[in-house]
């Protein structure tokens, strides 16, 4: 596979910046815009690989930070890599661990070389560097891997954000130099916090290194929807047109529709899976809180227009009963539905782009 040709924009929407694309990876082709369910600990919570395939999931995300700590990337490598370990033969993207090292670790020390942090499992001390992050991700064998960056928290001062942006650029170069695995795509990450000039600086520096794709990092960390939209709208068009653009950690169905229209191609987020486990379900008629007493005798499916296993086989009354009774099956049936909802949303988005009617979808009520 020639990485430089990994992505192709098949069609650009006439009235928005949305693009229909095709991304080639070692484990197959992905159509974009795409949503990647999150499989933090080598499992998309509650779902088997068969469940994911049954719901047309094309690519999932794994977390380097978690897999490094447990079971350990070397063990996964000995087991034949992450695909083999989890029984999934479609594409996988691994994040670099940057976000988790900074957000999950109580004790961490950062210097130019890397970050010292403590394991959330046993308190053991670890030192993560750009090189180690790439080494881990190569061991895991994901199709797409990410540079090790420093996402700044919100709020951060201009000065701190600038220093952090510079560090991310230095680390990005070290990642690129260290990366050595054929057939594995390496994506850069743009930082710069909420400051447009720093975002622009970051885009220029990161794009200059030349990656197979570009992520917008450090958003959806508390800055609020309007800031997130403003910065995505600002950054996306600055990124190379002919490379995939990935907005990390975003978002709600509404966020996805809006950010696709700004030119984003890839998304990941825990919202569909986490909300499902909390009983919050997405439907064409808005969100359903399955614990509500109003569903206790409701014979209707969750969403009459949905073709997922949950909607085809069970009533709201049963789903409510399972949730109220804390039955484990509840978590899986809810997750199947929400993932199906997201996958279907992405199909609708792709159809809309192909027909130059993405602008209609920006009103989410037309999506359901």
Using DSSP's 3-state secondary structure scheme, residue 98 falls into: helix
Closest distance to its own copies from the beta carbon of 281 (Å): 17
For residues 285, 44, 181, 235, the Cα torsion angle rounded to the nearest 10 degrees is 30
The strand pairing partners of 19, in sequence order, are 12
- Residue 3 vs 43, nearer CB to its own copies: 43
Q: Is 70 in the site for its own copies (CB under 8 A)?
A: yes
Q: Is 325 in the site for its own copies (CB under 8 A)?
A: yes
Q: How far apart, in whole angstroms, are the C-alpha atoms of residue 317 and residue 320?
A: 5
Ramachandran region, residue 321 (left: φ > 0; alpha: ψ -120 to 50; beta: rest): alpha
Contacts 24+ apart (CB under 8 A), 111-117: 112/167, 112/170, 114/148, 115/150
- Residue 66 vs 245, nearer CB to its own copies: 66
Q: Active site residue: 95, 143, 265, 303, which one?
A: 95
Other Cβ atoms less than 10 A from the Cβ of 327: the count is: 12
Closest distance to its own copies from the beta carbon of 43 (Å): 5
Q: Active site residue: 13, 143, 268, 303, which one?
A: 268
Place of tokens 């959806």: 220
Q: Which residue in the set 31, 119, 315, 359 belongs to the binding site for its own copies (CB under 8 A)?
A: 315
268 is catalytic: yes
Q: Which two tokens stand for residue 221?
A: 């960390």
Closest distance to its own copies from the beta carbon of 272 (Å): 15
Could you tell me where the DSSP H helices lie in 55-195?
64-69, 73-78, 82-86, 98-103, 130-140, 158-178
Q: Which residue in the set 85, 171, 195, 341 belongs to the binding site for its own copies (CB under 8 A)?
A: 85
Q: Which two tokens stand for residue 208?
A: 């200059």
Closest distance to its own copies from the beta carbon of 85 (Å): 6
Q: Which two tokens stand for residue 361?
A: 């979808």
298 is catalytic: no
Q: Is 141 in the site for its own copies (CB under 8 A)?
A: no
- Residue 179 vs 320, nearer CB to its own copies: 320
Q: Which residue in the set 331, 339, 345, 358 belongs to the binding site for its own copies (CB under 8 A)?
A: 331
Span interacting with its own copies, options 8-16, 42-50, 133-141, 210-218, rule CB under 8 A: 42-50
Query: CB-based contacts of 360: which residues, under 8 Å, 6+ apart?
Result: 352, 366
Closest distance to its own copies from the beta carbon of 367 (Å): 28
- Residue 107 vs 293, nearer CB to its own copies: 293
- Residue 226 vs 299, nearer CB to its own copies: 299
Q: Is 314 in the site for its own copies (CB under 8 A)?
A: yes
Residue 269 sits at the vertex; the CA angle it makes with 293 and 147, to the nearest 5 degrees, is 165
- Residue 30 vs 333, nearer CB to its own copies: 333
Which of 300, 189, 193, 198 is closest to 248 using CA atoms? 189
Other Cβ atoms less than 10 A from the Cβ of 152: the count is: 26
Q: Is 45 in the site for its own copies (CB under 8 A)?
A: yes
Span interacting with its own copies, options 68-76, 140-148, 197-205, 263-271, rule CB under 8 A: 68-76
- Residue 51 vs 233, nearer CB to its own copies: 51
Query: CB-based contacts of 353: which residues, under 8 Å, 6+ apart?
Result: 11, 12, 13, 18, 19, 20, 33, 260
Closest distance to its own copies from the beta carbon of 70 (Å): 6
Q: Which residue in the set 9, 329, 362, 364 belongs to the binding site for its own copies (CB under 8 A)?
A: 329
- Indicate which residues carry an active-site annotation: 95, 268
Interacting residues with its own copies (CB under 8 A): 41-43, 45-50, 70-71, 75, 78-80, 85-87, 296-297, 299, 309, 313-315, 317-318, 320-322, 324-325, 327-329, 331-333
């Amino acid at each position: 596979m020639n990485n430089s040709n990994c992505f192709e924009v098949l069609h650009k929407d006439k009235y928005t910046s949305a693009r229909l694309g095709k991304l080639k990876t070692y484990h197959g082709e992905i159509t974009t815009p795409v949503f990647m369910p999150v499989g933090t600990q080598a499992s998309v919570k509650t779902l088997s690989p068969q469940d994911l395939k049954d719901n047309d999931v094309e690519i999932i995300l794994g977390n380097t930070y978690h897999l490094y700590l447990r079971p350990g990337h070397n063990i996964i490598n000995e087991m034949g890599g992450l695909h083999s370990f989890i029984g999934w033969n479609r594409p996988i993207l691994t994040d670099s661990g940057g976000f988790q090292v900074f957000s999950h670790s109580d004790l961490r020390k950062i210097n130019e070389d890397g970050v010292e942090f403590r394991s959330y499992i046993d308190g053991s001390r670890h030192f993560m560097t750009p090189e180690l992050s790439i080494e881990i991700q190569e061991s895991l064998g994901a199709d797409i891997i990410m540079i090790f960056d420093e996402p700044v928290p919100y709020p951060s001062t201009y000065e701190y954000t600038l220093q952090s942006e510079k560090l991310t650029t230095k680390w990005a170069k070290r990642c690129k130099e260290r990366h050595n695995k054929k057939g594995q795509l390496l994506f850069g990450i743009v930082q710069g916090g909420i400051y447009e000039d720093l975002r622009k600086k970051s885009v220029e520096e990161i794009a200059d290194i030349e990656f197979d794709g570009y992520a917008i990092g450090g958003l959806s960390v508390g800055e609020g929807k309007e800031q997130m939209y403003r910065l995505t709208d600002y950054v996306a068009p600055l990124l190379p047109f002919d490379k995939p653009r990935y907005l990390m950690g975003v978002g709600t169905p509404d966020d996805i529709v809006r950010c696709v229209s700004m030119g984003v191609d890839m998304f990941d987020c825990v919202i569909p899976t986490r909300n499902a486990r909390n009983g919050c379900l997405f439907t064409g008629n808005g969100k359903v809180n399955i614990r509500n007493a109003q569903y206790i005798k409701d014979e209707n499916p969750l969403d009459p227009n949905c073709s997922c296993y949950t909607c085809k086989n069970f009533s709201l009354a049963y789903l409510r009963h399972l949730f109220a009774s804390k039955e484990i099956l509840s978590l899986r049936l809810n997750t199947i539905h929400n993932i199906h909802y997201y996958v279907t949303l992405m199909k609708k988005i792709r159809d809309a782009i192909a027909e130059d009617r993405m602008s209609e979808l920006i009103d989410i009520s037309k999506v359901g």
